[in-house]
Structure 1
Amino acid sequence: MKRQVSIGLAVVLLVAVAVAIVTGSGDDDAGQATTVRGVIGSEKAAFFNDQRVIAAFGKHGLQVRVDSAGSRQIATSVDLGGYDFAFPSSSPAAQRIQRDRGITTVYTPFFSPMAVATFAPIADLLTVRGVVRKGPGDYQVLDLAGYLDLAGTRWDQLVGNTAYPVRKNVLVTTTDPRDSNSAAMYLAAVSFVANGNAVVNTAAAEAAVLPAMTKLFLDQGYTQNSTEGPFEDYLAAGMGKTPLVMIYESQFLDRQLRADGSIRQDMRLLYPAPTVLSKHTLVPLKGRGDQVGKLLSTDQELARLAAEFGFRTSDPKPFQQLVADRKLPVPADLVDVVEPPSYETLERMLDAIGKQYR
């Protein structure tokens, strides 16, 4: 009889332990994963959809599900009512959301400088003309002042150009300035140079630079509303379609770090001088959105994974160690960085350019 009781008690204890293992979920008191919904800039979709990232959030009892949209769309036209957090790719877009919703708390867990993806023959052509030069390391720099002097000239008008003698203008391909943050960051950088190397901060300065800035966008023709579009064209269609494309550094590095063959030997990444940092800013809207922001800002595993997707984090060590191990020609620190105009100024310029599309 005593043996039967002992066996019965042992079975009960084993079942209890098994239940505890199955239902235990770290920080989640209920033992169930809580679904948290967010809307993000498209360049972060691969990060959030990665199984390692999903598992890292799962350790804290969260199941994070995301939709993608252009950062300006997130701030201006996306219905945020069904989301727990918004995660655009810039602080100006986040400021708009904060202002509209009276939110004071934000998180900036990682950032990425704006860069220009191109090809070796194009980089060589621009090097001869002094528009591209070597940086302090092995990386290459695109001088924006020299680029603006050349913009509008046809490629086939460049003397001695046999590598890319096409009948279209020298222009960086961007996204649609009405929808996307990367286009806004491009505008911030080129308007700084066009304004005599000063941030545009007056109505007079806006009026002075807008005609040239508008032309840089309108002369491109059709533009897409997310950086994934032109970057995928760059990867798939090659030099003929997009010889120069404005992207986030993280997009290029993400593909290099994957080593999936999408970044070929003739592809190059140029760092504009000056450049602008795209500060990926998470705005918690409700529920567990705040916890997602905290985890992205403090969890070491998530920071390491962010670096593997090409993002620079507040702790520079994971990113710097990764690019050093892979021997990637990436600047450890960026010096020639400018701030974008104020939210109001940038919005006015973007709206003025957007009206010209109609």
Structure 2
Amino acid sequence: MAISRRAFGVGLLATGVAGTGGYFAVKDRPELQGLLGNRTTLTGFIGGEKEAFLADPDVIRALASRGLTVQSRVAGSVEMVREQALLSQNPQFLWPSSSIMVDIARQNGVKIRDDRVMLNTPVVVYSWQPVADGLMKAGLVTRTGQGHYHLDLKALLDAILAGTDWSKLGVNMLYGRARIISTDPNRSNSGFMFAGLVLSLLSGNLATAESLAEFGPKAQAIFRNMGFKSPSSGKLFEQYLAGGIGGEPMIVGYENQLVEWILADRARWDRIMAGAGAKPVVLYPRPTVYSAHPLIVIDEAANRLVDALTTPALQQLAWEKHGFRGPLGTPTGNTSGAITGLLPADVDAVLPMPDAGVMLALLDLLAR
């Protein structure tokens, strides 16, 4: 059947209108941006503990479906908000590991458009089963009915300040004085947060400028006792695994690090648990501090990354594959599988961090 030119023209017009309408319908829906082939590349600095998350092919695909490609570079949380050598590279976003970094960034002249916590993970102490068993005998560690370990961190700090040997703490297989290692608090967030926790515990309350004057030297002694301090939480965790119980008996890290390591190779974890060697143990300091991970938006385009990372799909990937809790500190996905029973559903004994002014003064003290 012949089609008139007029009818053909009307058909093309209708198709064009429908196509244009479909384009704008997709354009206005961030979750469908990738269908247009329009891709926005965002560059910024991230804490090393999030490197594997952003390199995850599933995460890359989820971001690509929203038209986003993220090119991130690893830097210490403290460094990225203070070092002009990094800030002068004009990052579109910063993704440190503590909410205090937002205030410190502002104090350093960073023009922040927005900031929002994307992920959470508590600061924990990684040790080994023989150490945990010895500290239980000494009364510094308790085990809950669910099988989780709680550490009396104040008692441990007092023992370290007193120069107590491991043997006096029930750990006869280790020689020398008891010690705990963190990252460099002037470069890495886990060390930074541990420093704030140490000062508050020594003070007997949330640390203030007055308590820094009184208890700062003791906090300084704790960190001086550590010797070399890694600039990165990820590197310190690798040292812990490689050094074993003799090399790194106790380190400060993030809860998600062991989870992520287990999920990366479950067969490896099964071999370790079935073997005769010392087993890794997660000790939850009571109290501890939460490492919130705020995404700091510098360039307006990075607001799209905030929207993407808070979607249920990416929050679920963060928990189920990388062990990150959601913005409220709770699991955002399935709690079964290889990590069943490893993590408590809630971490209830939590201290707030001292304010930015106290922490900057503490950093200056620890850098001496």
Maintained 8 Å contact 2:331/2:345? no
Q: Which blocks of at least 5 consecutive residues in structure 2 are unaligned? A: 3-14, 274-278
| Cross-structure match for 2:206 | 199
- How far off is 1:136 after superposition? 5.2
**Structure 1 residues 24-75: Cα deviation after superposition (integer angstroms, max 9, x where no partner):** 9922696331111121000000000011000000001111111001100111
**Structure 1 residues 129-153: Cα deviation after superposition (integer angstroms, max 9, x where no partner):** 1111113531001111211121143
Maintained 8 Å contact 1:109/1:313? yes
What is the DSSP-based 3-state SS (H/G/I as helix, E as strand, rest coil) of the residue aligned with 1:270? strand
**Structure 1 residues 261-282: Cα deviation after superposition (integer angstroms, max 9, x where no partner):** 2583311000001100000011
| Cross-structure match for 2:192 | 184
| Cross-structure match for 1:9 | none
Aligned partners of 1:135, 1:59: CA distance in 2, in Å? 43
**Structure 1 residues 99-147: Cα deviation after superposition (integer angstroms, max 9, x where no partner):** 4224252110111000011000111111111111113531001111211
Matched, 1:313 2:321: no
Q: Which moved more, 1:86-95 or 1:271-280?
A: 86-95
| Cross-structure match for 2:100 | 92
Maintained 8 Å contact 2:99/2:292? yes
Matched, 1:83 2:83: no
| Cross-structure match for 2:66 | 60
Counterpart pick for 1:211 among 192, 217, 220: 217
Aligned partners of 1:159, 1:143: CA distance in 2, in Å? 12
- How far off is 1:326 after superposition? 3.9
Matches within 5 A, 1:66-215: 66-77=72-83, 78-80=85-87, 81-99=89-107, 100-103=109-112, 105-135=114-144, 137-152=146-161, 153-158=163-168, 161-164=171-174, 166-167=175-176, 169-196=177-204, 198-202=205-209, 204-215=210-221
Maintained 8 Å contact 2:142/2:151? yes
Maintained 8 Å contact 2:182/2:190? yes
Alpha-carbon spacing, 1:95–1:334, altered in 2? closer, same or farther (3 Å): same
Letter in 2 for 1:120: Q
What is the DSSP-based 3-state SS (H/G/I as helix, E as strand, rest coil) of the residue aligned with 1:240? helix
Aligned partners of 1:239, 1:249: CA distance in 2, in Å? 19
Counterpart pick for 1:277 among 290, 293, 306: 290
| Cross-structure match for 2:313 | 301
Q: Which moved more, 1:318-327 or 1:261-270?
A: 318-327
Matched, 1:332 2:341: no
Maintained 8 Å contact 2:76/2:231? yes
- How far off is 1:323 after superposition? 4.9
Aligned length in residues: 335
Alpha-carbon spacing, 1:159–1:275, altered in 2? closer, same or farther (3 Å): closer
Aligned partners of 1:317, 1:30: CA distance in 2, in Å? 35
| Cross-structure match for 1:354 | 367
What is the DSSP-based 3-state SS (H/G/I as helix, E as strand, rest coil) of the residue aligned with 1:32? coil
Aligned partners of 2:330, 2:232: CA distance in 1, in Å? 29
Q: CA RMSD in A?
A: 2.7
Aligned partners of 2:225, 2:152: CA distance in 1, in Å? 20
Q: Identity over the aligned pairs, expressed in percent?
A: 27
Counterpart pick for 1:224 among 225, 230, 243: 230
Aligned partners of 1:159, 1:27: CA distance in 2, in Å? 58
Counterpart pick for 1:343 among 338, 344, 356: 356
What is the DSSP-based 3-state SS (H/G/I as helix, E as strand, rest coil) of the residue aligned with 1:108? strand
Matched, 1:244 2:250: yes
Aligned partners of 1:89, 1:159: CA distance in 2, in Å? 32
Maintained 8 Å contact 1:117/1:245? yes
Aligned partners of 2:100, 2:330: CA distance in 1, in Å? 27
Letter in 2 for 1:187: A
Alpha-carbon spacing, 1:230–1:35, altered in 2? closer, same or farther (3 Å): same
Q: Which moved more, 1:153-162 or 1:187-196?
A: 153-162
Alpha-carbon spacing, 1:323–1:218, altered in 2? closer, same or farther (3 Å): farther
Aligned partners of 1:235, 1:35: CA distance in 2, in Å? 35
Maintained 8 Å contact 2:122/2:255? yes
What is the DSSP-based 3-state SS (H/G/I as helix, E as strand, rest coil) of the residue aligned with 1:269? strand
Maintained 8 Å contact 1:94/1:283? yes
TM-score of the aligned structures, taking structure 1 as reference length: 0.86
Maintained 8 Å contact 1:139/1:329? yes
TM-score of the aligned structures, taking structure 2 as reference length: 0.84
Alpha-carbon spacing, 1:89–1:316, altered in 2? closer, same or farther (3 Å): closer
- How far off is 1:158 after superposition? 1.9
Letter in 2 for 1:79: L
Counterpart pick for 1:261 among 264, 268, 281: 268
